Amino acid sequence: MYSGAAAAGSPRRDFISVTLGPEEAAGVGGYNNSKAWRRRSCWRKWKQLSRLQRSVILFLFAFLAVCGVISYTSMGETWKSITNKSFDDQRTEQEIPRLKLANPAVLPAPQKADANHGDYPELSLQKPPKPPHVRRGPSNLQIKAPRRDTRLKTQHDTMRAVEELVEKDKVEKTEKSIISWRGAVIEPDQSTEPPSSKIMELEKSSPVEPEDQKEPMPINERQLAVIEAFRHAWKGYKDFAWGHDELKPLSKSYSEWFGLGLTLIDALDTMWILGLKEEFEEARKWVANDLVFDKNVDVNLFESTIRILGGLLSTYHLSGDSLFLEKAKDIGNRLMPAFKTPSKIPYSDVNIGRGTAHPPRWTSDSTVAEVTSIQLEFRELSRLTGDEKFRKAVDEVMKHVHILSGKNDGLVPMFINTNSGQFTHLGVYTLGARADSYYEYLLKQWIQGGKKENELLEDYMRAIEGVKKHLLQRSEPKKLTFVGELAHGHFSAKMDHLVCFLPGTLALGAHNGLAADHMKLAETLIETCYQMYAQVETGLSPEIVHFNLHAQKGHKDVEIKPADRHNLLRPETVESLFYMYRFTGDKKYQDWGWEILQNFNRYTRVPTGGYTSINNVQNPRNPEPRDKMESFFLGETLKYMFLLFSDDIDLINLDKYVFNTEAHPLPIWVPA
């Protein structure tokens, strides 16, 4: 691309020759090369000239000198603009629209990751470095300072190297005010101002900490397998369900729940983390052009908070693109009518177009897990917008539940009445459906807020003691520790797959300084969750298992009832495997996750695109596909798989981010 002139590094110059007279040109006077003779002869000639002739010659020399200086300067400018233009021309078509899409205040101009730079001279100022390996995250966050080449050969090269260092310094300063692909674009301490001013601040400050500048680790084979699985799932969604809530991969159609593109929104940050740039850009366009919340539709407060609000907020944090924050504010505001109840315990359903809310038709109760697992998202929305109403509404729920009677050693019932604010259906305690994420969010809110909110910690610690006291048992023959249920004083050896979030949560608590025996319990429970897969014919867990409390010949620990043998592609075990691997480094957790991924591929993958839930995990010959891919398969299961197989603790650093219950990472306000 560049000529040899460019390689030599000097701008092309024009030369003008001046003929002094015929005698000189012809060499009249004979050839004598002695220096003294030449000096004398020149001087004599000069003296022989008239005053006018001498003035003309002097004027000509002066004129040429001025021209030389001017042409040197303007050629330098021309060269710079030529080389810059050439670099711009290398951008791909996909990258050009991103320049418009990306938030210009926080994202750098994109740099083509795979351009062939072989034609660049070694020390060219414009030479962008070739990335050493595949990087995650769309390439507009992959700016890297030019490599410093020390092989200098000439004085001129030294000058160029100095210029290069100045240029490098400029690039580094720009980089620091931007972000690396994996750091939080919006820093946790920028809490109460509107986003526009935050973005301005980011331009000024240097939010990236040194470790964020570290080179991301290369993607390994297992992670590549997750990327392949994601792409396959995405292909099905794109071909048959684009913009709809869920893919029905067998009937090559879709199902609607809220009519808000649930799978697409749930999957946004997964695509970002997996580095699926094109898919992300396409989905981003849909969010920009087609995602409309002004719709006469009833949505479930909890589900839309964890999947939509959570997904938009985390994508905003990862990408820095204010589109996602705007959408998050919109949906957040539209969900607020849910809190207008006599007790301030929110209704389960909201009509986001009409601004009305109501409980389910058959009751005025809400589910305890639902009203206590929306806090991370609304608190973060308040922090970002500076509007306290979101946080006040959800904090009120937690304060209320904190002092409510009807708990059993910190364990909560499953329902709460929106009129009276009291627990209902007392006496049933589970860590599974309808209560699960209450426990998870006690710990995670405490972490999110910088470990200062003691009531949350108190409730969490008490609840774990309650679990130990009332719900833990060991199975036969393998003596697996499991978490059962308590119904009016009677223990049931039933455990939902949903409970498998618990080992991960316990490990996260231990990592944050809580009792070491929480980690021990996490280790025993994750073994149990793994056995819920390993002891089943397909190697996939059913929705619910019953553990054998007494040894019986020919019986395993795990029993499955016909009504419970479906698998919905749920994430909880993989989620806990991820935490366990992060905190222990024990490779067995990666191996277990790898087995699970292979079994998902074996029994739930639909050849034409997508994955399906199945009805029978006990029948490898016919697992009975249900024809539905839940949004959390892309939002959670595959994301946690990808993170589990990574050895990079900075790939969503758990001292900086806390995952909501739908696997959307949100920043910890005061990072450890």
570 is a site residue for ligand DMJ (CB under 6 A): yes
Least Cα distance to 481 among 437, 533, 523 occurs for 523
- Residue 662: CB minimum distance to ligand DMJ, A: 5
The correct pick among 449, 484, 504, 571 for binding ligand DMJ (CB under 6 A) is: 571
Residue 661 annotated as part of some ligand binding site: yes
- Residue 174: CB minimum distance to ligand DMJ, A: 39
Whose tokens are 């001013």? That residue is: 197
Q: How many chain residues touch ligand DMJ (CB under 6 A)?
A: 8
Q: Where are the beta strands (DSSP E) in 195-277?
A: 246-248, 253-255
Convert 506-532 to b/e letters by CB count within 10 Å (16 or more is b). bbbbbbbebeeebbebbbebbbbbbbb
- Residue 637: CB minimum distance to ligand DMJ, A: 8
- Partners of 408 in beta bridges: 411
Helix runs in 435-541, H state only: 436-448, 454-466, 502-511, 516-534
Is 303 noted as a catalytic residue in this protein? yes
Residue nearest to ligand DMJ (CB): 661
Whose tokens are 């292909």? That residue is: 235
Nearer to ligand DMJ, 338 or 574 (CB): 574
Is 278 noted as a catalytic residue in this protein? no
The correct pick among 661, 666, 668, 669 for binding ligand DMJ (CB under 6 A) is: 661
Is 215 noted as a catalytic residue in this protein? no
Task: Show contacts with ligand DMJ in window 450-509 (CB under 6 A).
Answer: 498
CB 508 within 8 A of CB 654: yes
Task: Show contacts with ligand DMJ in window 381-440 (CB under 6 A).
Answer: 437
- The H helix count followed by the E strand count for the chain is 24, 18
* 273: alpha, beta or left? (left if phi > 0; alpha if psi -120 to 50): alpha
Nearer to ligand DMJ, 440 or 523 (CB): 440
- Residue 430: CB minimum distance to ligand DMJ, A: 13
Nearer to ligand DMJ, 185 or 580 (CB): 580
Of the residues 164, 365, 436, 485, only one is catalytic, namely: 436
314 is a site residue for ligand DMJ (CB under 6 A): no
Half-sphere exposure (CA, 13 Å, Cβ side) for 335? 30
Of the residues 95, 303, 365, 496, only one is catalytic, namely: 303
Task: Show contacts with ligand DMJ in window 131-160 (CB under 6 A).
Answer: none
Is 436 noted as a catalytic residue in this protein? yes
Structural tokens at position 57: 């010659």
662 is a site residue for ligand DMJ (CB under 6 A): yes
Start-to-end Cα distance in the chain: 49
Nearer to ligand DMJ, 323 or 499 (CB): 499
Kindly report the number of other CB atoms within 10 A of residue 250's CB atom: 17
Structural tokens at position 130: 């070739």
Q: Distance (Å, rounded) from C-alpha 311 to C-alpha 331?
A: 11
Nearer to ligand DMJ, 337 or 571 (CB): 571
- Residue 202: CB minimum distance to ligand DMJ, A: 31
Collapsed DSSP state (helix, strand, coil) of residue 64: helix
Annotated binding site for Ca(2+): 661
Q: Which residues lie near ligand DMJ (CB under 6 A)? A: 437, 498, 570-571, 632, 636, 661-662
Catalytic residues: 303, 436, 543, 572
